[in-house]
């Protein structure tokens, strides 16, 4: 069909606009994803500030727990106030929270660290995380899986940069100054990128909607009340919770596990100081490389879900991860562990990237900010439980074996649940009210 010049210009403007928002979303998610490199900071805090394993892990648990709650509230604000407002607030809170976290370290006051990096940083991260996802789902009804995967790929990859840069920053400046510098960077980049955000025009978009054949049409979207009264919403919440609990528990201890496996390979001819530096670098390398796959997995699995379906992707990720978590305790090679960790983090990230499209296919995109934002409370709960399981098991048993077996069990449950999913029927919630 021939397109007249005016329609062609509108189409070109639409394409430029939505891809500029996609680029801004990636920048925001890169900044927010640096929280996954917390284990790099944790090592320094345990070694040089007199705080123990559980105390330092609590900072990460608070941050992740708050993110889930903030994402739920942020999703409501996105639907009511628009994405630009919420993203700016998120950038301000995340940047300032990171800086205040540095104050807590400098003052040797762990409560200030919890308040800054944990509470305020978590609030800003939650607001900033949900906004690009809800916005891009609306701008890209034809590429839901791909574009959400592209955006949250940045969140997974953010830890790569922090995992590679932060150890050197900490060695030169100390942990407190490192957080000061990065907090200022976050303020500039996140708030600046937020200025590009906007909702699409309230008219029929010049693209074909709904990549999944059985997806709920956008003009028949579920309300929030309808969605949360379906068994499918709770099924998806639980699937996200199980995938995150296993993955984030591993992430919270990724550097220490890598360091223990690298220790036998370290050059015995090194000086004591050189040996410590080499082992620390090995722990940071595992975090950095695995974080790349956390990001790439988000893009790959979300893209694949556009083709084979969200249900099949989740089933595959759950089952393959369960097998590998059982195998990990029996590994005694640093490099093999790195390969396995890369795949596990790819699946962990893939769950985050695929679930927004899964939710939009199930319930439509009109109220996706609140529907998916509230679903992210699963992330908050899992963000507390996963690291707690791994740190508690380490404290009690001196190792991570039983924590890895627990994670495998959770993933088996996730596989079983994923096979039960069926498309929700509109207004089915009435029967459950």
What CA–CA distance (Å, rounded) separates 36 from 157? 9
For residue 29, the surrounding DSSP H or E stretch is helix 5-32
**In this structure, what token pair is assigned to residue 210?**
């709904």
Sign of the Cα pseudo-torsion (58, 40, 356, 198, in order): positive
pLDDT for the residue 431: 42
Q: Which carries the bigger pLDDT value, residue 390 or residue 265?
A: 390
* Cα radius of gyration rounded to whole Å, the chain: 21
CB 147 within 8 A of CB 136: yes
According to CATH, what is the number of the domain 19-198+208-432?
1.20.1250.20
Q: What was the pLDDT predicted at 107?
A: 92
How long, in residues, is the chain?
Answer: 433
- pTM, rounded to two decimals: 0.76
Place of tokens 């996105």: 78
CA torsion angle for 278, 338, 391, 239 (degrees, to 10)?
Answer: 160
Q: What angle do CA 110, 281, 336 make, to 5 degrees?
A: 115
pLDDT of residue 416: 96
Supply 149's token pair.
Answer: 């995967």
Q: What percent of the chain has pLDDT over 90?
A: 37
pLDDT digits (tens, 9 = 90+) for 354-395: 998 899 888 887 788 889 888 988 987 898 899 889 888 888
């Amino acid at each position: 069909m021939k397109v007249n010049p005016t329609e062609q210009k509108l189409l070109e403007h639409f394409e430029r606009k939505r891809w500029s928002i996609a680029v801004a979303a990636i920048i925001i998610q890169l900044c927010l994803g640096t929280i996954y490199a917390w284990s790099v900071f944790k090592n320094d805090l345990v070694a040089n500030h007199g705080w123990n394993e559980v105390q330092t892990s609590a900072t990460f648990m608070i941050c992740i727990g708050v993110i889930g709650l903030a994402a739920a509230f942020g999703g409501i604000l996105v639907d009511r106030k628009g994405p630009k407002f919420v993203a700016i607030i998120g950038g301000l809170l995340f940047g300032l929270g990171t800086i205040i976290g540095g104050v807590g370290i400098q003052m040797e006051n762990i409560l200030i660290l919890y308040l800054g990096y944990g509470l305020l940083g978590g609030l800003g991260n939650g607001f900033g995380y949900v906004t690009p996802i809800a916005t891009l789902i609306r701008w890209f009804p034809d590429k839901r899986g791909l574009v959400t995967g592209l955006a949250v790929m940045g969140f997974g990859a953010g830890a790569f940069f922090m995992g590679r840069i932060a150890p050197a920053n900490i060695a030169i400046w100390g942990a407190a100054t490192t957080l000061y510098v990065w907090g200022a960077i976050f303020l500039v980049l996140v708030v600046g990128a937020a200025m590009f955000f906007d909702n699409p025009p309230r008219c029929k978009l010049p693209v074909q909607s709904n990549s999944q054949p059985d997806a709920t049409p956008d003009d028949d979207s579920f309300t929030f009340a309808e969605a949360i009264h379906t068994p499918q919403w709770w099924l998806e919440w639980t699937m996200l919770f199980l995938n995150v609990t296993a993955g984030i528990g591993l992430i919270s201890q990724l550097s220490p596990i890598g360091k223990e496996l690298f220790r036998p390979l370290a050059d015995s001819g090194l000086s004591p100081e050189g040996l410590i530096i080499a082992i620390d670098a090995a722990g940071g390398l595992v975090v950095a490389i695995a974080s790349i796959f956390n990001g790439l997995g988000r893009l790959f699995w979300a893209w694949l879900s556009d083709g084979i379906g969200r249900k099949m992707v989740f089933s595959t990720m759950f089952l393959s991860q369960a097998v590998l978590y059982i195998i990990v305790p029996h590994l005694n090679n640093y490099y093999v562990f790195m390969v396995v960790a890369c795949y596990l983090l790819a699946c962990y990230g893939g769950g985050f990237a695929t679930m927004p499209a899964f939710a939009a296919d199930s319930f439509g995109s009109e109220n996706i900010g609140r529907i998916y934002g509230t679903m992210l409370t699963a992330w908050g709960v899992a963000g507390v439980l996963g690291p707690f399981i791994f740190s508690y098991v380490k404290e009690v048993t001196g190792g991570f074996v039983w924590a890895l077996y627990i994670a495998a069990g959770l993933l088996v449950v996730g596989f079983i649940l994923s096979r039960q999913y069926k498309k929700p029927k509109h207004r089915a919630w009435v029967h459950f009210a």
